[in-house]
Amino acid sequence: MLILTCPVCGVRAEETEFHGGGEAHLKRFGPGSSEEDFQEYLFMRENPRGVHFERWRHAYGCGKWFHAARCTTTLEVFGTYPAQTLEPPKDLRAKISKKRPGWTWRSLT
C-alpha cells in the first residue's frame, strides 16, 4: 500500500486515503479537433515501466487533486505537486534525472 504526501494539505498518508485518477497532464481536445487528436486524448494512455506521472485525489482528506511522479517498477515516489499546472515542476524533473538518468515520458525528458 503506497504512501503519498498530499501537496495541498501536506498530509503524508497511505493509499486508502487517496484515489488514483490515471495519467497526468492530458491535453483536452474538444469540438473542432481532429479524429486523431481526440482519439489520442480519449483513449491512448502511457503505461511505462519506470517513471510515470499520475493524477491522485486526496479523497478522504482535503479532497484536492494532485499529481505524483512515481516509478512503476520500484514504486519509488519522486514527488507530488498540485494539479494546477501543465507540466511537472523543473526541480522535480531534475531530481528524477539524478535518480533515473535518461528517463523519458511522452515528450518530457
- Work out how close the CB of 58 gets to other proteins at its nearest, in angstroms, rounded to a whole number: 11
Stretch that binds other proteins, among 46-54, 64-72, 101-109 (CB under 8 A): 64-72
Sign, CA torsion 63/67/72/76: negative
- Residue closer to other proteins (CB basis): 35 or 94: 35
- Residue closer to other proteins (CB basis): 95 or 108: 95
Q: Which residues contact 1 (CB under 8 A, 6 or more apart)?
A: 14, 15, 16
Let me know: does 26 contact 46? Beta carbons within 8 Å. no
**Closest residue by Cα to residue 97 from 45, 7, 88:** 88
Query: Under the criterion CB under 8 A, does residue 35 sit at the interface with other proteins?
Result: yes
Q: Which residues bind other proteins (CB under 8 A)?
A: 1-4, 14-15, 21, 28-33, 35, 38, 42, 55, 57, 63-65, 71, 74-77, 83-84, 99
